Structure 1
């Protein structure tokens, strides 16, 4: 082999290594996005399962209350909706009209807090 052939092979390998490095960087970025999405979905799934359990307990208590009142369905309490929204916010979800239902990633939301502080 001539020196020129060896040099061209080394240059070609160097280019291939550079492309592999770029490909690894792209895969790492995609993996980061997927891991964040997985974490958000895991949190949302856990919160939804807890809400289902709470709803089952609430349904049972509502059924017990309605049967005690001779079959009539009682109206929900005035503050019950506010309490539910406060609980949703505490679980990590937006309750403001801008991002309602989405997961809060950046800490507290000023819009949600202003809504909660209205009396």
Structure 2
């Protein structure tokens, strides 16, 4: 009898372990589903964010273009074509996706003063 009880205990433990593994598998499937939803939302938001940033940049560029003198518009064109227009690196190529605060300063410095004179 002792051997039968021992076998029954082992089978009971295996049954309990199997039920626990099934439960964990269900939890894993639910987590995977939640992760897929979160990744899809993240991808959508990333794309939307990129489009919004492009739209904002376009609006700013259009606004700035309207307020720039002819010389500064030329500098802005060169800058957007990938060249430095600042004194420090004038004529050098910008690295991909590089921006330069010195170039921005060269193009847009004094614009607040110009606005006051125009109004």
> So what's the TM-score if we normalise by structure 2?
0.52
Which of structure 1's runs of 4+ aligned residues deviate more than 4 A? 68-71
Give the Cα separation in 2 of the matches to 1:64 and 1:35: 43
- 2:17 is matched with which residue? 20
Select the structure of larger CA radius of gyration: 2
Deviation of 1:63 (Å): 1.0
Unaligned stretches of 5+ residues in structure 1: 72-119
- 1:32 is matched with which residue? 29
Aligned partner of 1:57 among 50, 54, 57 = 54
Unaligned stretches of 5+ residues in structure 2: 69-119
Q: RMSD of the alignment, in Å?
A: 1.7
Matches within 5 A, 1:33-48: 33-48=30-45
Give the Cα separation in 1 of the matches to 2:62 and 2:19: 64
Question: How many matched pairs?
Answer: 68
- Using CA pairs under 8 Å that are at least 6 residues apart, name the structure with larger relative contact order, 1 or 2: 2
SS at the partner of 2:40? Answer: helix
